[in-house]
Amino acid sequence: MQGNLRRHLATLEQATELSALQTCTEALRDHYGVAHLGYHWVSADGEQYGCGTYSIEWITRYVQNDYVRIDPVIIGCFQRFHPVDWKELDWSSKPAIAFRKEAIEAGVGNQGYSIPIRGPSGQFALFSLSHNATDEDWADFTETHRRDLILCAHSFNQKALEIEDKRRPEPVKPLSGREVDVLTYLAMGYSRGQVAQTLNLSEHTLRAYIESARFKLSASNTMHAIARAVSEGHIIMGGAARAAQGKWPGREAIEAAE
Amino acid sequence: MLRYLYGSQLDAYPKLSDTMFRDRAAQFRDRLKWDVAVDAQGYERDEYDACDPLYVIWQQPDGSHGGSMRFLPTTGPTMVNDHFSDLMDGDRVQSPHIWESTRFCLSCDSNSRVAAALVLGGIEIGRGFGITQCVGVFDARMVRIYRMIGASPDVLGSTGEGRAKISVGLWTFDPIDRMRVLLRAGVSSTVSEHWYARAFGSRPLKLQARAA
């Protein structure tokens, strides 16, 4: 992941109001150099929330005409879990053809890519990018950035859920014992290989624990996860870590020196 | 052929869906003696079938079920996190890049090529959806099958002994595995990508090989 993207995700993480999410969509649009980028949430009771870079005229027309009912992106991504290239959707109905023409005229772009997210209690959200590009270039773009875009999508959704739900602040998800162990050793400067060996895990298993911890901490990468784990008190560094039970490489040598 | 179908799409394939849920009853209730619920129609279904999961299904030439497995993202409800967390000392595996795979099922007349084809389906959605790892629950009898098809998992935790041993496994996708599994399934790369494209509209990856 590029440094800039990490910075954008860190900014997103700091957001306390939905208006800050809007700023983040603009920053990410510029980062990826696409025509538009947006996050769109629909709750089970039909409540909508969105932010994105589309023109105000287009958004107004979309809402006034209730396009959420005919938009093939919404219809096609609802009940899906996987990232969807807009080309894969069904644009064959008459309303869909008219909608597509209008959208392109409004500058949305001729290509699009959406990541559906299904949240708690029937919440549904979409993270979408759109652009003017050839099929070939768009396929290159989405394939190159797929993993990072999935991460962005989930970061937006977690933040939106957190802000929406701030009367009942989401408790910091507790890290499991294994996750704490892994982050602690990584924070102590061990390589992944050393951590895996110390904890008697395969490197694949170690990776799953890191991924899981990273998600719980809403961290954009492993270093970020470690930093958050330390700052939120999930893991303790320094003397306390040395006093921790268990065997770690060089422990005897350090203890002997002390 | 391999079918990739969400729960909400099964209605369009009544024979495939009917035989899949019956084969699941035959495998999990009758053969493995798992404590699973089978309804009046003879279908083995659980709460996760109600979550509109993605099924990867091997469809026989006559349209019936040859084997299947079920996928859900770990960011939502999953069997591993809801019911088998104690096998992992209370850990929950949750990441947008890790999905859960459950109910790996083969019909009575299936063979190891079908099993390999199902694993291939898992690898294809991994490539196409940006998934790097899968978690799942498996029992002792599956160990041999996974080894046979070259898809042995890392074990995150286990309970029970011998044939009653149940484990949580972690599979990590590796491009090299794909070539091996293609061979075991007896399916060419092009055909596999064609099946994927039939379901999702485009191939899992634009290029066969891409510089890192």
Q: Could you read off the pLDDT of B196-212 as tens digits, one per residue?
A: 999 988 777 765 444 43
> Quick one: pLDDT at residue A248?
46
Least confident stretch, A19-28, A114-123, B130-139: A114-123
**Domains of chain B from N-terminus onward:** 2-200 (3.40.630.30)
Size of interface A-B (CB pairs under 8 A): 101
Q: Percent of chain A scored above 70 by pLDDT?
A: 84
Residue listed under structure tokens 């958004």: A59
Q: Choose among A140, A176, A214: nearest Cβ to B91.
A: A176
Contact A176/B88, CB-based, under 8 Å?
Answer: yes
Most A CBs within 10 A among B97, B98, B124, hence the mutation to make, goes to B97
A134 compared with B34, residue with greater pLDDT: A134
Quote the tokens at residue A184: 């602690």
Q: Percent of chain B scored above 90 by pLDDT?
A: 64
Quick one: chain A helix, strand, coil %, rounded to 5?
Answer: 55, 10, 30
CA distance B202 to chain A (A): 7
Residue listed under structure tokens 């074990």: B155
Most B CBs within 10 A among A143, A154, A202, A216, hence the mutation to make, goes to A143
Chain A contact set for B94 (CB, 8 A): 212, 215-216
- B173-179: which pairs have CB atoms within 8 A and are 24 or more residues apart? B173/B122, B173/B123, B173/B126, B173/B127, B173/B131, B173/B132, B173/B133, B173/B134, B177/B123, B177/B150, B177/B151, B178/B120, B178/B123, B178/B127
Residues B101/B169, Cβ–Cβ less than 8 Å: no
Q: Could you read off the pLDDT of A154-205 as tens digits, one per residue?
A: 999 888 888 876 544 445 567 888 888 888 888 878 888 888 988 888 888 9
> Quick one: pLDDT at residue A5?
85
Q: Could you read off the pLDDT of A217-239 as tens digits, one per residue?
A: 877 788 888 888 877 777 765 44
What is the average pLDDT score of chain A? 82
**Domains of chain A from N-terminus onward:** 3-164 (3.30.450.80), 177-257 (1.10.10.10)
Is pLDDT of B153 > 80?
A: yes
Is pLDDT of B114 > 90?
A: yes
By C-alpha distance, which of B91, B132, B87 is closest to A173? B91
Is pLDDT of A59 > 90?
A: no
The distance in angstroms from the start CA to the end CA of chain B is: 31
CA distance A215 to chain B (A): 6
> Quick one: pLDDT at residue A46?
63
Nearest CA in chain B to A180: B91
B125 compared with B142, residue with greater pLDDT: B125
> Quick one: pLDDT at residue B147?
85
Nearest CA in chain B to A138: B206
| Cα separation values, A78 from A104, A145, A154, B92, Å | 22, 22, 16, 26
Contact B154/A202, CB-based, under 8 Å?
Answer: yes
Chain A contact set for B170 (CB, 8 A): 204-205, 208
> Quick one: pLDDT at residue A20?
87
The distance in angstroms from the start CA to the end CA of chain A is: 40
> Quick one: pLDDT at residue B68?
97
Element (H, E) at A130: strand A124-131
Strand partners of residue B6: B54
Contact A204/B76, CB-based, under 8 Å?
Answer: no
